[in-house]
Every structure is written in structure tokens, then in C-alpha cells.
Structure 1
Amino acid sequence: MQPQTLTLDDGVTRLTLAPQTGGSIVNWSVLASGQPLLRPSDEQASNAGTPRKLACYPLAPWSNRIGNGGFENPAGWLALEPNSANDPLPIHGSAWQQPWHVIEQTDRHACLQLDSAIPFAYRAQLRYTLDEGTLTIALSVTHLDSRAAWHGLGLHPYFPRTANTQLRAQAEHVWLCDDAGLPTHLEHLPAHWDFNALNVLPDTRLDNGFTRWDGNGLISQPDLGYELECQATGSHFFLVFCPPGLDFFCFEPVSHPVNAHHLPGHPGLQLLQQGETAALSFRLRYRGV
């Protein structure tokens, strides 16, 4: 059964959302040409029932993988089970696997909300706004459990990729990973992973986190005739996922490195008490070239 969707339109671009499928974006495209600005989702992708087939989904109350079967909170150990058939480790939190509800909607704006009890009580809100070709996604989470817990946030957008797609996003180091996808150590950027200036995406697999990001980025699509200017807040890290031979890549703003729950100092995570909130936003501005 095709999920219920809602559509936003600012006269320049159109955004389609699937609230019940993890609060996901189905499509974002240019009205005049139909050009997809995120990886396009056809009917089969929409009917698959998973955000991983769609264009973008939220990551809360953490992003990416967690090792060791869970993590330590002040109140004690929180055990986690793997939550995806594609990965042996817990991944991307719990928000993407639950239905969200629409609590506000206009022609150009929608606010979705999730009240979750997994893996602890929290309330998440997603605000999607279109404004003359600019998409803003604002994600927040409020801790509702009586016991404090570590929180992290992220967004997981998929972008079209051609042979000449380029990315610019400043970073100091990249985390190298083990076979499970968990970070092992920081390295200076190799030339083929250096996006401080516009650089083409690598032909080999890239699925790594980058540090000390200033929140600004540019995705150049010369073969498709446009650019996306990117700006993130609440995110000093980003991940790039480039699966070889496929026509998409992911550029993910995140508040913390992979497996930060087990890194010294819990970099980028926030220990939230009941009623406290963490937030992250991502703005994508379309410009035809």
C-alpha cells in the first residue's frame, strides 16, 4: 500500500513527505523542469515501507553505528539490539523506524512530531520549510525520560550522482574505520577525500566521518545544471557515503562522530536531563547554473 504523503510547494520547488515512513522526504524537485534535487523515489521505493529507499530521513537519538551492544548512561548500561537487516550493529537511532504525525501544515511548511519510548522516552520534531527554492530541515529532540541519557542527531539525505558531481565541505581530519564501520583513528585528509575545495567524488567506497566542519558546503551538479548551497547548524561533523557504481551519494550533517558513545569525552553528544532539548538544522539552497 502506498503511504500517505503531503506536499509543499513554494513556486520554485516541490517537496513530498511521507510522515508515516519515518518522517521521510520522498522527493524534492524543481517545478519548472522536474529535475530531482534529492535522489528520486518512484512508486516502488515509496511502497517499500523503509526510509532507506526514499530521499532523506532523520537520525535520532543518535546517528550511525554504536558498538559494544549498547552504551553507558549515568543511570547505568543501556543495551541495544541490531535494528536493521543490513547491519549487524544498532544504527541511526529509533526515529527513522517509527511513524510521525503532522501537527502543523501550510503550503510551504510542515511540522512532524514523534513521541517515542524507544530506547528511552523522547519527543522529536521535524520542521520542513520551503522558501523560494530553499529547503530548511530542522530536527529537535526533547528528553522525556526521568533518567538522563546521551543524545545525538543527524540527517540522512541521498543526492543524485553523475561522473562530474562535486562536493565542497571543509574538514580537518577523517575517521578511518574497521570492517564493522566503527572508527579506529583520525587521519589527515587524503587527496581523493579532501573536499576543502570542490572535488569529485571517489570511485572507491567512502563511508567515513569528517571532523571540525564549519557547517557550510556546496554540491555542484554540472551534468544536471544546478548547485545546492548547504548550511548546517548544530553539526560540527559530516559523513560522506559513496557506494561504488551507484547513481547516488549521501552527505550527512551529524552532531557527533560514529560510535561517539564509546569515544573519549563523548564528542558531539549531549547528556540531556528530562525536559532538555537538542537541535540540528540543514538548509539546502537550489541555484540553477
Structure 2
Amino acid sequence: MSTEDVTLTAGDAEVTVQPGNGCRIGSLRVGGVELLRQGKKYGCFPMVPWCGRIADGRFRDGAAVHQMPLNSPPHAIHGFARDAEWRTARTSKTEAVFTYDLTDPWPYPGRVTQIVELTEDGLTLRMGVETYGDSFPAQAGWHPWFNRVLEDGGEPVRIDFDAAWQEERGDDHLPTGRRVEVRPGPWDDCFGMPDGVDVTLTWPGRIAVNVKSREPWVVVYDEQDAAVCVEPQTGPPNGLNTDPRLVTPIEPLETATTWTWRRL
């Protein structure tokens, strides 16, 4: 199995996956125009085995308390699979499958699989987390960095969505546990969408991208000048403590997101 970049093509859409760089989507070009911010830490990376911040890097599983590295002090953020080397399991012109084995400092043995599938008008990302032993809590999701302004200019992107609530964010950037009405941006906030994530990014006169997922949680981050983020995920920030989902020997954690685009 290889860690070399993998490029998929369908019509005038092209996606490059970088298994050696956290299995992130390094590039998504539609009609020759790059939609994702470029750079080693950008593109679109998988968040696994947790999403967002874990308070003080600690989570509880029954009587056991586990400490994760504080990669965003005083918290741990976005998992560590984004910093790992994945392996390419198989590829075709329009689909590729990648795997990553969970290891230290994660306290449970398991495997993550990411499937990337490209069509002429859409990109589907799927992720599964399975255990090699005991059940454990986990989260999975994606953190895309969409260019605020496309590389050849034009108006900045507009973000449109209709959430049922916003998770109130404390001074520590973690949800307080209170649900409030959606407040105006800029955001670094988690929103509840119980019917599934449905967010549209529109570059006026150019292209619109609709981000969907069956998951009820999305984080929207638009506090930077260069890019905006729309992050579908299986639970809220600090969810390993507040809203855990178990990976069991008979039930892996499975999630997916689909982005579809249309020219304007």
C-alpha cells in the first residue's frame, strides 16, 4: 500500500488526496478553479477519533480517564489522524479507499477507513471507525478550508444555513451545554441541524457548493480572511465527554458527507 498522492477525475472536476499528509483532500478543482485553501495544514482533513476540542485533553470511558496530548493548549483538538500517515488500499479513476490504524496515544486499537468518491458534480467522503478489541467512544468528521475568494478573484463566499440552534460557546471555546438561537457571525461555533447538515457556500456569479450530511452537527468557522470552514461531524466539540458515541465490535462508527456544486 502506498502513501503517494492520489488524483481522481470526473468530467472537469479533479480531487487530490494526500494519504501521507493525514489523508487530507489537498485540492478540489472544478472547471480548473481551486475551491480549497492550499497549504500543508489546509485542504480538507478528517477529524478522528474526535472532533473539535476535548476539555483539557481528558475524556472518561467508564471509570477510566484518558489524557490526550494538548495540541491546542489547554485543550486537545481535531484528533491526530490528520497528522498521521495513511495507506492507500485501492483506487480507480473516480474512487479511492484509505486506511489508518489507531495507535498511541489513543488508548484503544482500531482502524479508520476513508472512502473518497468523485462525480462530475459532487464529492462524497465516507469514514468508518472500527475496533479491534473493546468498545470505545469516538467521533468523526471533516474540516474543509474553502477559499473565501476564489484564486482568480470575484466576490467573497456567502454561507447560508438554517440551524435549529447554536451551542452557546464559553470563554474556553467549548459548548456550555446551553442551546441558544442562532447568532450573527463571525462564527467559531457548533450548530444543531437535527434533520441533517445542509449548508450552502455561494461564490456569487461563479459557483455554489452544497455541503450535506445525515449528521445533526456542524461547526462553522469564518474568522479568518483567507478561508471559511463548514465541518460536518458526528458530535459537538467536547462530545467524547458530553455526547459519546460508542464504537463496538458489532457496530462501527460510520459517517459521510456529500458536496455538490453547480455553476451560476
Normalized against structure 2, the TM-score is what? 0.89
In structure 2, which of residues 26, 29, 33 is the aligned counterpart of residue 35 of structure 1? 33
The CA deviation at 1:21 is 0.6
Alpha-carbon distance between aligned partners in 2 of 1:72 and 1:272, rounded to the nearest angstrom: 15
In structure 1, which of residues 219, 227, 230 is the aligned counterpart of residue 208 of structure 2? 227
In structure 1, which of residues 163, 166, 180 is the aligned counterpart of residue 172 of structure 2? 180
After TM superposition, which residue ranges in structure 1, 4 or more long, deviate above 4 angstroms? none
Task: Name the aligned partner's letter for residue 220 of structure 1.
Answer: T
Match of 1:152 in 2: 139
Match of 2:123 in 1: 135
CA gap of 1:87–1:133, structure 2 versus 1, over 3 A, is: farther
The CA deviation at 1:70 is 1.1
In structure 2, which of residues 88, 93, 110 is the aligned counterpart of residue 122 of structure 1? 110
Q: Secondary structure at the match of 2:240?
A: helix
Paired-residue identity, %:
23
Alpha-carbon distance between aligned partners in 1 of 2:112 and 2:158, rounded to the nearest angstrom: 32
- Asked if structure 2 preserves the Cα contact closer than 8 Å seen for 1:102 and 1:111, the reply is yes
- Asked if structure 2 preserves the Cα contact closer than 8 Å seen for 1:70 and 1:79, the reply is yes
- Asked if structure 2 preserves the Cα contact closer than 8 Å seen for 1:144 and 1:275, the reply is no
Match of 1:169 in 2: 161
- Asked if structure 1 preserves the Cα contact closer than 8 Å seen for 2:56 and 2:74, the reply is no
Match of 1:50 in 2: none
Match of 1:258 in 2: 237
Match of 1:274 in 2: 249
The CA deviation at 1:60 is 1.0
Pair 1:70 & 2:58 matched = yes
Q: Secondary structure at the match of 2:180?
A: strand
Match of 1:241 in 2: 221
Gaps of 5+ in 2: 150-154
The CA deviation at 1:149 is 1.3
Alpha-carbon distance between aligned partners in 1 of 2:188 and 2:109, rounded to the nearest angstrom: 30
Alpha-carbon distance between aligned partners in 1 of 2:260 and 2:69, rounded to the nearest angstrom: 38
The CA deviation at 1:274 is 3.1
CA gap of 1:144–1:75, structure 2 versus 1, over 3 A, is: farther
- Asked if structure 2 preserves the Cα contact closer than 8 Å seen for 1:183 and 1:258, the reply is yes
The CA deviation at 1:75 is 5.4
Q: Secondary structure at the match of 1:93?
A: coil
Q: Secondary structure at the match of 2:66?
A: strand
Deviation digits for residues 80-108 of structure 1, max 9, x if unmatched?
221x2x44311112211211000010111
The CA deviation at 1:161 is 1.2
Alpha-carbon distance between aligned partners in 1 of 2:23 and 2:133, rounded to the nearest angstrom: 22
Q: Secondary structure at the match of 1:20?
A: helix
Alpha-carbon distance between aligned partners in 2 of 1:145 and 1:81, rounded to the nearest angstrom: 23
Alpha-carbon distance between aligned partners in 2 of 1:281 and 1:215, rounded to the nearest angstrom: 11
Q: Secondary structure at the match of 1:88?
A: coil
The CA deviation at 1:79 is 2.0
Task: Name the aligned partner's letter for residue 100 of structure 2.
Answer: L
Alpha-carbon distance between aligned partners in 1 of 2:222 and 2:211, rounded to the nearest angstrom: 18
CA gap of 1:143–1:275, structure 2 versus 1, over 3 A, is: farther
Alpha-carbon distance between aligned partners in 1 of 2:67 and 2:250, rounded to the nearest angstrom: 23
- Asked if structure 2 preserves the Cα contact closer than 8 Å seen for 1:57 and 1:157, the reply is yes
Match of 1:209 in 2: 190
CA gap of 1:275–1:97, structure 2 versus 1, over 3 A, is: farther
Deviation digits for residues 151-203 of structure 1, max 9, x if unmatched?
1111101111145422222211112222321111321112x2xxxxxxxxx4x
Normalized against structure 1, the TM-score is what? 0.82
